[in-house]
Each structure stands twice: as C-alpha cells, then as structure tokens.
Amino acid sequence: MPDWSMRDKACIVGVGTTEYGSFPETDAYGLGAQALNAALDDAGLTCADIDGLIVNRIAYERFSQLTNINPQYMLATEMHGRFSAVSLMLAAQALATGAANVVALVYGNNGKSSRMQYGGGDSLWAPWGLTSPGASHAMMFREHMAAFGTTSEDLAHIAVAFRKHAALNPSAVMRKPITVEEHQASRFICEPLRLLDYCLINDGGVAWIMTTPERAKDLRKKPVYVSGYARQDDFSQASIPTPGYWYPSLQTVAGKVYDRAGIGRDAIDGLMIYDNFTPTVLFALEGMGFCKQGEGGAFVRDGTLELGRGRWPTNTSGGHLSESYMQGWALLAEAAKQLRGECGDRQIPDCRTIQYICATNVSSSIILRN
Amino acid sequence: MSYNKPLPAIDQWNKPFWDACKEHRLIAQRCDASGKVWLPPGPISPVTRTDKWSWVDLSGKGQVSSWVVMHQRYFPGFADDLPYNIVQVTLDEGPTIIANMVDLKDRDIKVGMRVKVVFDDVTDTISLPKFAREGAGA
C-alpha cells in the first residue's frame, strides 16, 4: 500500500509537438490543434475519446469550439510556465478521482510571430527601469554570486551542455554548438545575465494525452506513469525578485516527491529542468538536493548535465535555452519520449525514470517512470 | 524635454506613499499588532489580515541586497541611460524595494553596501525614491 494515494494513478499515453519557429500563417489555436492531433495519433485515440481538457495560453471556449470537444472536465491554466507542471498534476488528480478518463492537455504559443514582449510594459518597478523576467533572474543570480562566489562562467556550462543536446535534436531551433568562451563573449542583456543565458521565444504547440493505468493498457504506446509529484508555492515576497532562490520551497518539494514516487534520487536516470534562464537550473539542482546549496556552480562543470558524459543528463532536447521556450510543456513531452526510448541520438541509455523540476514561485517536481 | 520614463500607477493604497515621497519622506504601513512593516502598500496587514495598520516614517536607510545592470532597451525613456543600474535595497525596517543607485558607477555597487534614500523630483507630482551611499553626503 503506497503511503501517498496518487502514486501511479495516471499515465501519459500520447505526446505531440509542432515545429518551433516563426509561423505567422497560423496562431496559437492552430498550433495547439496541430499538437493535439499529433498527440492523439501517438496515443491511438480520437477527439471523441477526450472527456477532459486543460488548455494553456489559449482560451478554452474558442479551442473547444474549434475542436468540438465538449468534456466533463475543463480548465484553462495561467500563462506562466510554472503552470505546465501544475496542469499535469491537476490532470493526474482528475484521473485518479474519476473526474475524467482521458484528458487532453494543450499548449499553443505564437509568442514569436505576435512579437510577445517579456518586458517593457507597466509594472510596479518600471519607473526605475526594472522589467522582464530575465532581469528578475539576474537580480536573483547576483545574490547567489555574492553569497557563494558563483560566476557567469558557471552558467556557461549549463548553456553549453544543453546546446550539445540540441545538436542531436532535429526539432531544436539552435543546434550550432557553443563554447564557454562564446557564452562569455555574448552580450549582456541584464548583467550578470548574457544573451546565451536566455531562453528562445518561438511559436509552437505541445499536447499530452493522459489517462488511467487501466485505460492505458490497450493503447498504442507504452504508458509513462506519473509516479509522484509535489508542489510548494511562495508568494511572500512576490512583488520583488524572490530572495533566496526558492530554496526553502524546493527543499519542501524534495522532502515529498521522492517518497511519494517511491523512487529515490539515486534511481533517477535523467532530469528535465525548467530553464527559462540558466540560473534557474542551478537553483533547481541545489533546492532538490543534487548538490549542497551554493555548490551548484561547481556541480554543473565537467559535463555533469551532459548526455554520455555526466551522471545527470539534463534537458536532452536542448531545453528552453536551445530547443525552444515552450514553458515546460516540451520538456515534459521530451521526458515521455525518453521513457519510451524514442529519442534516437539523444536517448538516455536504459532510461527508466525522469524527474522534472521547476524552480519558481510555484516550485514543483514530477517523477515519471516507464 | 518632458519626462518620458514610466511613472508609478497611483491607487488608493499607495497614494499616501507617493504624497510622502513628494515631501521627500519615505513611509510604509506598519501592522499595529505585530509591528511588521511592508511595501508595496495594500489594504490589509499580512500578519493579521485586518486594516489595523498605520503609516510610519522610515529611516530611509538600508543595504543593497542585489543589483543588476540593464543593457537591453525595453523602455524608450531609458534608451539614453543604457546601460543603467537597478538596485534591490532591504530597508532597515524590513521591506525590500527596487530603485536606482545615483552616485556610483554600476560595477562599484556591492551587495551589502549601506545606502540612504534620496529623492528624484522627476515631475511636478512624482518624486522617485532612489539611493546613494550612506554617509556620502548625497
């Protein structure tokens, strides 16, 4: 009897992704629909099987009308990337409780062709020129530098590792390998962060189909089990770049997620870490206990996160830094593909378990297994 | 030339704060029961979740808890200032706010540096709190 009632009560049975780039001929709905169709084909299901729908960055009424899906369970989650994991957890809970039997989760983003600006609008600190999520992360990383001696060059190793992975991924937008020196020579956007510390805004769509383990048995692909998940929010200082790197929240999550999954850290084969900016990878690794707090910079050197080289192959798709900024949705699709052994040149050998980690005001982690 | 940087959005909660800034005073709300001081202004104390709070004068002193240098052009009004610094200052009374450092070149700013508020009268009605090194005579 597992001590957490949600263990292995939901599965990912289909994933679909579009190309990533600039597609002004369509929009977020067209991209979401394209991803949904791909995910349904992957699962061997049709729209008629869907009785739960969670959409992100698209409006649920319009998308339901377009696809003629009239479910018994429906949610539209907020556009922040933290809500990809939240959406997956909500779907898992809906499946575990019987609120839905087959849930489609659909993400559509045309941020590139619609010239989405992450910065420059009205905000609390705009009178002093503080704007953009990147600047907030720069502020958080400066604190880490001062406290622990972490450097910009430490971040370079993260960017270099993920770009190596992207070179093995035909879907990645940026595939040309980079060096630590090239990272260090890239221009500052908001110092201490440089261009190569930033994710890539692109158009694209991602969809997942989730169902119960019973329903998954006779579907096309091997199910990927949602073994455990945990989340801890912290909005106590939400009006400023959060001091403390979300470390307390992540420690809380770490204290739950492995036990809930029944899978310890040492049994994890690969990681998917929300990498909107390189520092969040350090914050996630430290908070989840892969290294001690403050030692993240040293930890990511020497290829620790590199496929075929380090113990913890991370973001094998290239992640947000090199594949495309799909706000966690494509990272979780990559996790499912890794667990099905479908990643070709970038496959983690004998991949049985993947852990997803997102360090933010809604810190979360999900452990998936095959 | 008229001031063309973003201006604060005034609402019913922060109006007293901005009125005080106009008089070159830094104020914040303090919880009557716990003494906790917070910014930005809001309707209730985060401790008691009631409206039992009062405005208090702050010392204007604090220390730099982080800082960045913006190189990217996001606001037309800041284009001529690029690159410019932004500091995160934790005030001695507790709240942390964002501002600019007026008397130091960007890379001379250090985390932990003691600072004191100065006011920049940017329009007839708005004075922005900014910071200078404590004891620098600013």
pLDDT at B138: 44
CA nearest to A229, candidates A87, A347, A81, A17:
A87
Instruction: Please check whether residue A81 lies inside any domain of the structure.
Output: yes
User: What are the tens digits of pLDDT across the range A150-179?
Assistant: 999 999 999 999 999 999 999 999 999 999
User: What are the tens digits of pLDDT across the range A183-225?
Assistant: 999 999 999 999 999 999 999 999 999 999 999 999 999 999 9
Q: Is the ipTM of this complex over 0.95?
A: yes
> What count of other Cβ atoms lies within 10 Å of the Cβ of residue B55?
12
Whether the pLDDT of residue A2 is over 80: the answer is no
User: What are the tens digits of pLDDT across the range A293-312?
Assistant: 999 999 999 899 999 999 99
Interface contact B7, partner A, CB < 8 A? yes
Helices (H), B1-130: 15-22
CATH code of the domain covering residue A325: 3.40.47.10
Interface contact B12, partner A, CB < 8 A? no
Q: Say which residue, A90 or A2, is predicted with more confidence.
A: A90
Instruction: Please check whether residue A99 lies inside any domain of the structure.
Output: yes
Average pLDDT (A234-259) is 95
Instruction: Please check whether residue A67 lies inside any domain of the structure.
Output: yes
Are B98 and A131 in contact (CB < 8 Å)? Answer: no
* A118 among known catalytic residues: no
Pairing label, strands A52-56, A73-77: parallel
| SS3 at position A119 | coil
Distance between B134 CA and the closest CA of chain A, angstroms:
20
Burial of A344 (0-12, 13-18, 19+ CB in 10 A): exposed
Whether the pLDDT of residue A77 is over 50: the answer is yes
Instruction: Please check whether residue A155 lies inside any domain of the structure.
Output: no
Beta bridge partners of B97: B89
Instruction: Please check whether residue A303 lies inside any domain of the structure.
Output: yes
If you average pLDDT over every residue of chain A, what do you get? 96
* A325 among known catalytic residues: yes
Task: Give the pLDDT band (50/70/90) at residue B75.
Answer: very high
Are A132 and B72 in contact (CB < 8 Å)? Answer: yes
Helices A28-43/A60-67 angle, 10° precision:
50
pLDDT at A121: 84
Whether the pLDDT of residue A62 is over 90: the answer is yes
Instruction: Please check whether residue A225 lies inside any domain of the structure.
Output: yes
User: What are the tens digits of pLDDT across the range A307-361?
Assistant: 999 999 999 999 999 999 999 999 999 999 999 999 999 999 999 999 999 999 9
Count of CA atoms in the C-beta half-sphere (13 A) of A322? 26
Whether the pLDDT of residue B97 is over 70: the answer is yes
Range of the domain at A46: 11-114+204-369
pLDDT at A6: 95
Element of type H or E holding A53: strand A52-56
The residues, ordered by sequence, that sit 6+ positions from B137 with a Cβ below 8 Å of its Cβ are none
Distance between B104 CA and the closest CA of chain A, angstroms:
16
Domain count for chain A, please give it.
Answer: 1
- Residue appearing with tokens 């600072």: B115
Instruction: Please check whether residue A158 lies inside any domain of the structure.
Output: no
Q: Sheet holding A224-233: strands in order across?
A: A73-77, A52-56, A102-110, A203-211, A11-17, A224-233, A362-369, A353-358, A270-273
Whether the pLDDT of residue B1 is over 80: the answer is no
Instruction: Please check whether residue A98 lies inside any domain of the structure.
Output: yes
Whether the pLDDT of residue A244 is over 80: the answer is yes
